[in-house]
Amino acid sequence: MKLFYSFLSLIFCCCSFELSAQSVQDKVKQFVKSNEDSIINEYIRFLSIPDVSADTTDIPFNVAFIQEMMQLRGIPSEQLHGRTAGVNPAVYGEIKVPGAKRTIGLYAHYDGQPVNPKQWAGGMEPFKPVFITNSLEHGGTIVAHSPGQPINPEWRITGRASADDKAGVMMILNAYDALVRSGVTLKDNIKFLFEGEEEVGSPHLDEIFQNNKEKLQADIWIIVDGARRVTGENLVVFGVRGDVNMDLTVYGAKRPLHSGGFGNWAPNPAMRLVQLLAGMKDEKGKVLIKGFYDDVIPLNTEEKKAIAAISDVTPTLKKELGVAEPDGDGVSYLELLSLPSLNINGIQSANAGKLAANIIPATAEATLDLRLVPGNDVIRQVQKIKDYIQSKDYHIIDHDPTDEERSQYGRLIKITTDKGYNAQRTPMNLPIAQNVIRAVQSTISYPVVLIPSSGGSLPLFMFEKYLDAKVVSVPLVNYDNNQHAENENVKVQYLLEGISTVAAIMLME
Amino acid sequence: MKLFYSFLSLIFCCCSFELSAQSVQDKVKQFVKSNEDSIINEYIRFLSIPDVSADTTDIPFNVAFIQEMMQLRGIPSEQLHGRTAGVNPAVYGEIKVPGAKRTIGLYAHYDGQPVNPKQWAGGMEPFKPVFITNSLEHGGTIVAHSPGQPINPEWRITGRASADDKAGVMMILNAYDALVRSGVTLKDNIKFLFEGEEEVGSPHLDEIFQNNKEKLQADIWIIVDGARRVTGENLVVFGVRGDVNMDLTVYGAKRPLHSGGFGNWAPNPAMRLVQLLAGMKDEKGKVLIKGFYDDVIPLNTEEKKAIAAISDVTPTLKKELGVAEPDGDGVSYLELLSLPSLNINGIQSANAGKLAANIIPATAEATLDLRLVPGNDVIRQVQKIKDYIQSKDYHIIDHDPTDEERSQYGRLIKITTDKGYNAQRTPMNLPIAQNVIRAVQSTISYPVVLIPSSGGSLPLFMFEKYLDAKVVSVPLVNYDNNQHAENENVKVQYLLEGISTVAAIMLME
């Protein structure tokens, strides 16, 4: 009997909690629905402000816009700086809840990757958002939409940072707004942090953390950045790869030469660069550089188990992306993302195609992206690439060559590297991480997908190193968002659902 | 005694000819000097008209300008067409000299290579010519020059086609003008032909020749295009390499992907393209493609002798161009130019450097330039490259891939090729060719340099094939003219001296 009552009370207890969570979610959803127009309009205005990290002229307008959004929502805000002057500030805000025993931090970044407007599709510009009916690959076309007309949740909003990561800022601030304006009582303190240099490798986030260590203390920092699975399923992600960029410039003659007048004699820097790059990987995408994989810490049993539990997306990806022969020699997608990578972000020498001329170019440039995993170190990883380049008889310089260097060295290469940062991984069994999982789970009807480490990068190691904080990522936008490239876009449905997800996290057990 | 008188008469004969030639040259030089301002001003107006071969909007303005220049000089002109409508016409003119037993044809082209204005140096634009004090590599700066102020012959005039090859049109028309207005009597008929599609491989010159075979008959065609030696010495050139361009596009995923989210899994078309290109040449620039050198007809004894007589420019070139380690494994510059070549004109995939983003590009493109020598054939040479590419497991298409092709083939490459043309070589011992040599020699105090074949290309085989004509080239501009590239320029001194050289050819023995 007693047992029976206990059992009943357990049911009631669960139901009562579930009902209550459900009711809050309904309220949030109702709020979003009622305010959809103004939420989307505000977001479009936000996306209209150019936010390329290096565009210091326009960055302050983003900062001002965010602080205004926070003020409208009753969140006191300030700009956080490190030691270095003249760099993009982070925007910080804090809500103290009387009697709160815990603090939840929410992070997103407002800066975007560089843009080349010429590469965007017709009618689309990086900082003039429009609605499109679907991704361009699926025949999406621009919608002639006037404010106030209904918005189809299947549509996407285009623009640089629409997905990565002004979406994060938008969802966090609207989640808070939805809770407060729906009369829901918060039980934890909430901290807001919006970074402005993520897309250039967060070169001053360490300084910002060091200068504001006490202010930024939290029991957990939730990173609202990145995309759901290709299936559309929600994720919780426990780690990120590290990242560092290298820029390589190989030199030919001092000036472009007529390919007839000098062809066979003048060295072609494009040919020399392609030969150098070609040797870095085998035909299946495995990096051939000496020691490249040596210091990788393998996945632990729990992480391997998590990966094994995830349905295989390879067939979907292959079809969706039009790829018949992926790299990786048959290793699974998620396992490949747990390895360091070497990617050619771009290569350019003179012009190819319609603008090509019959010349021997004077220089050839490539930008590499190295992703790092636990065990790797930025400086060691970069050095491995440099050692390889030197083994190919290149003399490495950090400037355009002088006449003396040109006469002294047969092969010259300029290498510049950004600061970069290492990988980070949070143990999946951490109690507060489990709370985050349950919060996200409460908003969906299928099992939330748990990823030991995303393939992407964020400077999350700094949260551990400088704030002694735990950190977990909750990526919320569509995976086919053209993040970092032309025609970036975010699906309206996910943007609005993301508000509910963040709200659930703000209320987590 | 008899011998003595014969010797004397030989001297007198020579002197009399030399004096007379000298006096004509003085007249031409005097004319050029007196009219320098108007000649240069007219040329600057000519260069201000955009003339990229594909720019059909502006090409007619070039044609009109040339016909106006001809009209001003009393040369009746007309536009020549082939069968194909809507392509750039050639401009033709003819001066019939009563009693003439010989016809000298003079060819140049008015169209220019594509331009990327962003690549030009500050203050310089492709179609806004300015004076610069020297080449940019030698610290040249823009001159604030007003019309009427003296012009330093060391200066250069910048602009697309300033050297290649509006200079040819300009020198030919002014040479004729100088002779006529100096009261010199012509003894040969003169024909003028200015082509408008040379920089895209003269795809319709064959049709123009076929349609106008009788009109274009001449005892010799003189090609006024190309550059003097690096030493500044004048040349007579007896052949050209053939030329064909190939455009290669390699495909990755359908859209650019985040390099973190997909790095190690999604194939990178830039990496695949560099691996493909890298295998085409060895480290010393030798082409590794099967059979690439097989059908080359070697230089004959006379040609080898001519090359051996020419001073070695390698040390000058190395210094001037900042090249410590040229391609060619120690083979001499001129011998290398008598071999077929394979050059990367340009390569591009996404963006490198400041615009680079952390993506896996969707496509990678390279444009190749193949130069051909006697024995080679365009179609055979292109096929060798295609065979190599197929041997690397690529499926070749001539369009962007369909979804079906993407699912069927692991490696897809789009290859497009222009029409191209074969090499041409005129025997050096031809009597009329010897007359050209003597005419050029009469204008200079050092031995004219004789080149069996230039490294560059012109569709000269067509003069033989369709007109049964002999053809010899007389290149007259500075070698460091950035022809085909940004910051193209022509040295004023050579432009003006070229007028005298062409005038001497119009009066040749």
Query: Which residue ranges form the domains of chain A, and what is each CATH number?
Result: 2-240+424-506 (3.40.630.10), 243-296+339-417 (3.30.70.360)
Q: Does A371 touch chain B (CB under 8 A)?
A: yes
Answer yes or no: do A341 and B480 touch at CB < 8 A: no
Residue with structure tokens 């909003």?
A157
Which of B108-126 are b and which e, b meaning 16 or more Cβ less than 10 Å from the residue's Cβ?
bbbbbbbbeeeebeeebeb
pLDDT at B459: 85
Cα distance between the two ends of chain B? 30
Q: What is the DSSP string of B65-107?
A: HHHHHHHHTT--EEEE--SSTTSPPEEEEEE--TT---EEEEE
- Say what the pLDDT of residue A8 is: 36
Closest residue by Cα to residue B264 from A343, A384, A378, A289: A343
Instruction: Note if the bond before B225 is cis, omega within 30 degrees.
Output: no
| B92 within 8 A of B80, measured Cβ to Cβ | yes
Ranges of residues in chain B with a pLDDT under 70 are: 1-19
Residue A376 DSSP code:
B
**Cα torsion angle, A430, A433, A437, A443, sign:** positive
B337 vs A contacts (CB less than 8 Å)? 260-261, 263-265
Q: Is the bond into A165 cis (omega within 30 degrees of 0)?
A: yes
- Residue B322 and residue A260: Cβ atoms within 8 Å? no
Rounded to 10 deg, the angle between the B166-181 and B59-72 helix axes is: 10
Report the distance separating Cα A352 and Cα B367, nearest Å.
Answer: 5
**Alpha carbons B292 and B340: distance in angstroms, whole number:** 8
Chain A residue with CA closest to B406: the answer is A322
Instruction: Quote the pLDDT of residue A17.
Output: 41
Residue B457 is predicted with a pLDDT of 86
**A322 and B401 in contact by Cβ < 8 A?**
yes
* Option in B325, B352, B456 nearest A365 (CB): B352
Cα–Cα dist A483/B111, whole Å: 41
* Cβ-count burial A286-314 (b if 16+ within 10 Å, e if not): bbebeebeebbeebeeebeebbeebeebb
Q: Which residue has the tokens 């140049």?
A: B108
Report the distance separating Cα A304 and Cα A388, nearest Å: 32
The residue of chain A with its CA nearest to that of B280 is A271
Q: Answer for the pair A87, A173: CB distance below 8 angstroms, yes or no.
A: no
Cβ–Cβ below 8 Å for B356 and A114: yes
Residue A25 distance to chain B (closest CA, Å): 30
| Closest CA relative to residue B490, chosen from B501, B474, B475 | B475
Q: With CA atoms as reference, report the closest residue to B313 among A410, A266, A272.
A: A266
The alpha carbon of residue A418 and the mean position of all alpha carbons in its chain are separated, in whole angstroms, by: 17
CB B246 within 8 Å of CB B273 = no
pLDDT at B9: 37
Residues near B19 by Cβ (< 8 Å), separated by ≥ 6? none
Q: How many CB pairs under 8 A join A and B?
A: 375
Which residues of B fall within a CB distance of 8 Å from A371? 259-260, 263-264
- Residue in chain B lying closest to A417 (CA): B353
List chain B residues with CB under 8 Å of A420: none
Instruction: Say whether B410 and A337 touch across the interface (CB within 8 A).
Output: no
Q: Which pLDDT belongs to residue A493? A: 98
Closest to B324 (Cβ–Cβ): which among A249, A281, A406?
A406
**β-strand partners of B221:** B105, B471
Residues of A numbered 201-260 whose beta carbons fall under 8 angstroms of chain B's beta carbons: which are they? 226-227, 240-241, 243, 245, 247, 249, 251-260
Tell me, what's the pLDDT at B418? Answer: 92
Q: Which of B:166-205 have CB within 8 Å of A?
A: none
Q: Give the model's pLDDT for residue A281.
A: 98
Which pair of tokens denotes residue B461?
């085989």
pLDDT given for residue A14 in this prediction: 37
Inter-chain touch A485–B261, beta carbons under 8 Å:
no
What strand order describes the sheet that includes B449-451? B77-80, B90-95, B189-195, B103-109, B220-223, B471-473, B235-237, B449-451
Would you call B357 and A271 a contact, using CB atoms and an 8 Å cutoff? no
| pLDDT for the residue numbered A2 | 36
Question: Angle CA(B294)–CA(B300)–CA(B304) in degrees, nearest 5?
Answer: 105
Terminal-to-terminal C-alpha distance of chain A:
30
Give the pLDDT score at B137: 85
Instruction: Give chain A positions within 8 Å (CB) of B278.
Output: 271, 274-275, 277-279
- Binary contact (B266, A323; C-beta < 8 A): yes
Cα separation of B168 and B106, whole Å?
A: 9
Between CA B225 and CA B217 the distance in angstroms is: 20
**How many Å lie between the alpha carbon of B318 and the closest alpha carbon of chain A?**
8
In B, minimum Cα distance to A119 occurs at B350
Q: Which residues contact B98 (CB under 8 A, 6 or more apart)?
A: none
Smallest CA–CA separation between B327 and chain A, in Å?
A: 5
Question: CA of B302, closest CA in chain A: separation in Å?
Answer: 21
Structure tokens that stand for A427 in this block: 């143990």
Characterize B194-231 residue by residue with b for buried, 16 or more Cβ atoms within 10 angstroms of its Cβ, and e for exposed: bbbbbbbbbbbbbbbbeebeebbebebbbbbbbbbbbe
DSSP string computed for A379-391: HHHHHHHHHHHHH
Number of H helices, E strands in chain B: 15, 20
Contact B477, B495 (CB under 8 A): yes
pTM of the model: 0.78
Q: Does B456 touch chain A (CB under 8 A)?
A: yes
CA B96 to chain A, closest CA, distance in angstroms equals 36
A472/B339 Cα distance (integer angstroms): 62
Question: Looking at CA atoms only, how far is residue A249 from chain B in angstroms?
Answer: 9
> Which residues of chain A fall below pLDDT 50?
1-19
Q: Which of A137, A198, A246, A259 to mutate to test the interface with B (most CBs of B within 10 A)?
A: A259
Q: Exposed, middle or buried: residue A355 (CB in 10 Å: 0-12, 13-18, 19+)?
A: middle
